[in-house]
Structure formats: structure tokens, C-alpha cells
Amino acid sequence: MGFLTINPALTDPSVVFVIFVISLWITVTATHLPGTGALELLAFVGMVISIVILFQMPTNWLAVLVMMIGAAGYSIMPFIKHEYFILAWGGIILQGIGGLFLFNGMIVSPFVIGIVMLLLAAYCQYVLLPALRIGLAPHATATKDDELVGAVGRATTDINPIGTVLVESETWTATSDSPIKSGESVVVIERNGLQLVVESLKRKRSDDTFTQKEAL
């Protein structure tokens, strides 16, 4: 890789820092926005170039590790649980700290580090986080459906066949095959978009008991 051979004494450490950070975040983006493979290829090439350059510099590899851990927070934590995304913001701080100690005997400009961190914060807030929400939306909806089915609530109006119910502290439009009086306990049978299909809890228990007796 002769075309990547550099003279460390003539190389600006701030430029190397920016190249490395960009490579890390292309990799993070590729994990969040998988597609044709072009982004993944760009991430791979960027990381190879960055590592080759870092090997020629007086690099503090512990700082490199800290920066990579910071980027990994964005790649892994949101996929474990969406609410953990807020904890991944600590990755920006780790990359800033790593940048300050990235080289032995050479200083990355604190001003450059500050600008890069601000740009990363904006990129994550307005690009990665919305993309992650969109990608998880179908899964989140399916999970919510699973949680609601079987949930017990209360009819807030008469349901015959349409009315409203209170389930898990939320008011829903509901339908039922049999009339249900306001105040009666109900159980969710199905969810169709923003509408629930419910049944009288008392009637359902009676039906279940009758079915069990028939089985015996």
C-alpha cells in the first residue's frame, strides 16, 4: 500500500483523527441502514485506510480502543433495547476523550474535536435516530399488539357493537359481538389498527369454564 505511506512528522494529527472518526461512523451507519452493500464496502475501505495510517503514526492504541467502544455503543445498544439509545450518547464523549490522547507526542486540536463531536451529535439526533425508529416501527407495533391481546380493561361506554374502553391507562375504540354495559370489565381479543375487539370478561370466563367441563 505504497500510496498510503505517510511521513508522520508532516501529517496533521487532527486530519487523521477526522478520517478515523468518519470511518467509524460510516461503519455505524452501515449497521443501522443496511442496503445494497455499498455503504458496508465504503465502511470497510475507510477502516482499512484509517488503520494503515494509524500504524504509521505514534498512535496510542488504548485511545483507539476507547473511540471504537464509543462508536460500538451506537451500533449495538439501540438494538438491545430502543430505550438504551440515550445511554449511547456517552459514545460521543468517549470519542472526544480518545481524540485528546490519540497520539503520543502529538496533539489533536481540541477545537477540531469539539466541532466533530457537535456534528456527530447532530448526525445521530437527526439521521441515525429517526432511521432507527423507522426500522423498529413494524417490530414495535407487533410487540404492542401481542401485549394488548389478553389484557383486561373496563368499558367506559356501552358497547353495542361500538364503544370505548380503557385498557392499560389508554382509551380505545372497541367493538364486541355481544352488548357490553359501561363499567363492565372486558378482555382484549384482537387489535385492528387503532380499534380493539373485546369481550365481556365475565362472559369469557363463563365460556372458558363451560369449555373445560365439556372437555372433562
Residue 212's pLDDT is what?
41
Confidence grade of residue 88 (pLDDT, cut at 50, 70, 90): low
Check pLDDT > 50 for residue 30.
yes
Same domain, yes or no, for 45 and 131? yes
Residue 180's pLDDT is what?
92
Same domain, yes or no, for 39 and 114? yes
DSSP helix/strand/coil, 11: coil
Confidence grade of residue 35 (pLDDT, cut at 50, 70, 90): low
Residue 19's pLDDT is what?
93
Mean of per-residue pLDDT scores for the chain: 80
Q: Which residue has the higher pLDDT, 131 or 104?
A: 104
CA distance 52 to 11: 14
Same domain, yes or no, for 159 and 77? no
Q: Of 146, 171, 197, which residue is a domain's last?
A: 146
- Phi and psi angles of residue 198, each rounded to the nearest 5 degrees, phi first: -125, 170
What is the total count of domains within the chain?
A: 2
Same domain, yes or no, for 181 and 202? yes
Same domain, yes or no, for 126 and 160? no
What are the cell numbers at 59?
498512535
Check pLDDT > 70 for residue 16.
yes
Residue 6's pLDDT is what?
82
Same domain, yes or no, for 39 and 105? yes
Comparing CA positions, the residue from 82, 91, 84, 98 lying closest to residue 120 is: 91
Residue 122's pLDDT is what?
86
Average of per-residue pLDDT across 188-212: 72
Confidence grade of residue 211 (pLDDT, cut at 50, 70, 90): very low
Tens digits of residue pLDDT in 105-136: 999 999 999 999 999 888 877 877 776 666 55
User: Environment class of residue 67 by beta-carbon count within 10 Å: exposed (0-12), middle (13-18) or buried (19+)?
Assistant: buried
CA distance 33 to 132: 8
Q: Of 97, 113, 146, which residue is a domain's last?
A: 146
Tens digits of residue pLDDT in 144-194: 555 678 889 999 999 988 999 999 888 889 999 889 999 999 999 988 877
Same domain, yes or no, for 196 and 124? no
Same domain, yes or no, for 107 and 186? no
Say how far residue 154 (Cα) sits from the centre of its chain: 33
Same domain, yes or no, for 154 and 130? no
Same domain, yes or no, for 161 and 97? no
Range of the domain at 175: 149-215
| Kind and range of the H or E run holding 199 | strand 195-200
Same domain, yes or no, for 198 and 100? no
CATH classification of the domain holding 178: 2.40.50.140
- Residue 195 sits at the vertex; the CA angle it makes with 185 and 182, to the nearest 5 degrees, is 30
Same domain, yes or no, for 136 and 163? no
pTM listed for this prediction: 0.60
Confidence grade of residue 22 (pLDDT, cut at 50, 70, 90): very high
56: how many CB neighbours lie within 10 A of its CB? 14
Q: Of 122, 146, 170, which residue is a domain's last?
A: 146
